Structure 1
Amino acid sequence: MELDSKKIFKTLNPNKVWIPILFGVAIVFYRFYTDDSITYDNLNLIFSAKIIPFVLAILLILARFLGYMYRIRAISSEELSWGSSMYIIILWEFASAVTPSVVGGTAVAVFILLKEGINLGKSLAFVMLTAILDNLFFVVAALVSLIAAPDAMFPSNLTTIDGIEEGSLLFGGLKPIFYVSYLLIMVYTFIMFYALFVRPRAFKWFLLKVTSIRYLKKWRYRAYEYGNEIIWASANLKGKRLNYWINISLVTIFIWSVRYLQLNLLIEAYSENSLLDHIIIYSRQIILWITMLIAPTPGGSGFAEYFFEAFFARYLQDYTLVTMVLWRILSYYPFLLLGAIFLPRWIKRVFFKKQEKKDAPSDNA
């Protein structure tokens, strides 16, 4: 894994916040331009929200953040302080928000953990374990949703976005996009689980064997490095007790449940829906999220806003645009803002302050 500081800080660049913001804003302006029923007066609908679900939706930002902090501390067996956990989560989420999901922030996360005093083997283990836990949630939750209500998970009314007709190639491609994304996540998770917990050395052997093929030899050294990383990470996860795995699994379920319930609360703030409707809304978010994982834009920005209507307009009616904007503001933009604010402080904290301590004269001098 390349941990070049220059490349890392190209990702952790506060100026990158404008890219996903511009994608999202462009979609909102597009909706104003193409739909005559949407006017600036519609924005006044924001003030008609029911107070309790609206406030709860805001509070879930904090619940999600604390859940992330608690999980990284639990994964590290409390080697990380609460302060270190806060910086790690803010910058990790910031990196994920300013890069496409397929790129992710793995190298950035390992780099941040290293700078917070966690050795390379453990840093790799913690990041890989986090990815496996998150992916397992998607795989299981999506499977349960599809089994429970396969016909309700995908939008049936495909005319909710102006200019796109029912049965169009764009919407007709949603199911294939989802199933391709789902299959890729499932295969990747299985391979990572097997490599990390079952046969790490066999996985390294397989990588070296594959890259011994003539046309793949240029990746042989990279495969050798990655195989070693898997072995180091696996060694650092051995011997963990059952309560360790139960704890981090439950907090993972909590984190993603909170993340999805936020939209349920926003929809409840502007409309009346049954319990079954809310179950479908929750499940559709999982479908949309997995589909967004192969979006080429940073954090799926623009993609999420564009397809929001198709998935949730039937539950919101005239409040669709307002709810969509609020959903993205509450679920996506907080970590963009926090990352831009805390990145300079973190750089000063881990680079300059540690250097000052190193250069300070000792008492015995």
Structure 2
Amino acid sequence: MPVTQPTQEQQLLDKLRPSRIVLPVLLGLSVVGFMFWRSYKPGDLAPLANASPLWLLVTLLVLVARDAGYVYRIRHISERVLSWRASLDVIMIWEFSSCILPSAVGGTSVAPFLLNKEGITLGKSLAYVMVTALLDNLYYVVMVPLVVWLAHEGLYPDENLNSGFMTTLKVAFGLSYVMVTAYSALMLYALFINPLSVKRVLVRLFSLRILRRWRPKAYQHANEMVWASTQIRGNGAGYWLRAVLSTVFVWTARYLVIGCLIAAFVPTTPSEFTMMFARNITYKVILLVAITPGGAGIAEGAFPTFFGKFIGTPTMTNFIVLLYRIVTYYLYLVFGAVFLPRWITRVFGRRPEPGSLGL
């Protein structure tokens, strides 16, 4: 209702104000700067002179294809209620919110509001966001056994690493897979089979004394599953096939970026390229548990551990870390700062005052 619009708008602006860019940029660049300072030796960047134009072009095409895939997917999942422009705005702001909020929160907390302000009912907005989250999780659930089979022990970095760290990483990887699988199964059952029974189980579970403090959030999430189930039932096989294929496309492109960047500067064999793709899966676990906005600082610091062996010198590794974060992270901070004011102007019919954006 019009009366609640200022409150909703302020909540969005509080989460997405561009001033939040400062902390992740400082964290990320400080870590990369320190790594360069510690490792730089004259001549280490010589491979830059032999960069492959073909692989640089492939990297650019993969990045563009990934974003185009995201735009197509949200437009398709929203049953084409969103225009192409609205879909692009939603994806850019969604990515921006993922960059400035902790990885555990991501853009999912903002996405329903974005869709709702594009004229989609709240129930359907929640349903569409849940569908994207479910498909993303299912991609992970299916891909992990595949990359484990392909990479075996090579899935984990083991070069001169502390055995305690390796054990912790393997345990974290295993636990994350079990949790994502269990949550995906719960969502599938709740959305397509019996949402009310899942709601009852969640409410009873979070009524236990040890979990009682999270009961309101659990109750809200259970209600959202019930609403989402009502909204998405009845979609045909064609709808789900395109949603699944677009999800496979965008996540595969997302995981290909690192391999393409490395191949642009360092000769890479097909088996090494496959290994880099596989290691992205374990690298993602580090980002999932990161408490900093968008994993800033942690993503940069962990990168050499997972991919340094494929690159060579620490200095070249640090250069590729910086380049990777520029094209997959810092670029979206810039895009968000550009798209967000334009989106507010279009959706709310006025330009936000500079102070309201935290500038």
- Give the TM-score, by structure 1 length: 0.88
Please state how far the C-alpha of 1:117 moved relative to its aligned partner: 0.4
The alpha-carbon distance between structure 1 residues 280 and 221, as it changes in their structure 2 partners (threshold 3 A), is closer
User: Which residue does the alignment assign to 2:57?
Assistant: 55
One-letter amino acid matched to 1:230: M
Please state how far the C-alpha of 1:225 moved relative to its aligned partner: 3.2
One-letter amino acid matched to 1:150: H
Confirm or deny: 8 A CA contact 1:137 1:253 kept in the other structure.
yes
The answer on 1:14 being equivalent to 2:18 is yes
Please state how far the C-alpha of 1:77 moved relative to its aligned partner: 1.4
Confirm or deny: 8 A CA contact 1:200 1:230 kept in the other structure.
yes
Per the alignment, in what secondary structure is the counterpart of residue 101 of structure 1?
coil
Higher helix share: 2
- Aligned counterparts of 1:324 and 1:215: Cα–Cα separation in 2: 42
The answer on 1:236 being equivalent to 2:234 is no
Give the one of 149, 152, 170 matched to 2:151. Answer: 149
Per the alignment, in what secondary structure is the counterpart of residue 233 of structure 1?
helix
Per the alignment, in what secondary structure is the counterpart of residue 190 of structure 2?
helix
User: Which residue does the alignment assign to 1:129?
Assistant: 131
- Aligned counterparts of 1:214 and 1:184: Cα–Cα separation in 2: 22
For residues 130-175 of structure 1, the C-alpha deviation after alignment (integer angstroms, 9 at most, x for no partner) is: 01111111121112111233211011213xxxxxxx3254454222
Per the alignment, in what secondary structure is the counterpart of residue 31 of structure 1?
helix
Aligned 1:125-274 pairs, distance under 5 A: 125-158=127-160, 166-167=161-162, 169-213=164-208, 219-274=214-269
User: Which residue does the alignment assign to 2:348?
Assistant: 351
- Aligned counterparts of 2:216 and 2:264: Cα–Cα separation in 1: 54
Confirm or deny: 8 A CA contact 1:181 1:294 kept in the other structure.
no
Per the alignment, in what secondary structure is the counterpart of residue 299 of structure 1?
coil
Q: Structure 1: which 5+ runs fail to align?
A: 159-165, 355-365
Please state how far the C-alpha of 1:81 moved relative to its aligned partner: 0.5
Confirm or deny: 8 A CA contact 2:137 2:180 kept in the other structure.
yes
The alpha-carbon distance between structure 1 residues 218 and 287, as it changes in their structure 2 partners (threshold 3 A), is closer
How many residues matched?
343
- Aligned counterparts of 1:13 and 1:110: Cα–Cα separation in 2: 18
- Aligned counterparts of 2:230 and 2:137: Cα–Cα separation in 1: 21
The root-mean-square deviation of aligned C-alpha atoms, in Å, is 2.1
Confirm or deny: 8 A CA contact 1:17 1:98 kept in the other structure.
yes
Confirm or deny: 8 A CA contact 2:155 2:279 kept in the other structure.
yes
Confirm or deny: 8 A CA contact 2:24 2:297 kept in the other structure.
yes
User: Which residue does the alignment assign to 2:334?
Assistant: 337
Give the one of 110, 131, 141 matched to 1:108. Answer: 110
User: Which residue does the alignment assign to 2:355?
Assistant: none
Give the one of 309, 312, 331 matched to 2:307. Answer: 312
- Aligned counterparts of 1:94 and 1:153: Cα–Cα separation in 2: 30
Q: Structure 2: which 5+ runs fail to align?
A: 1-6, 352-359
User: Which residue does the alignment assign to 2:68?
Assistant: 66
Q: 62-71 vs 313-322, which deviates more?
A: 313-322
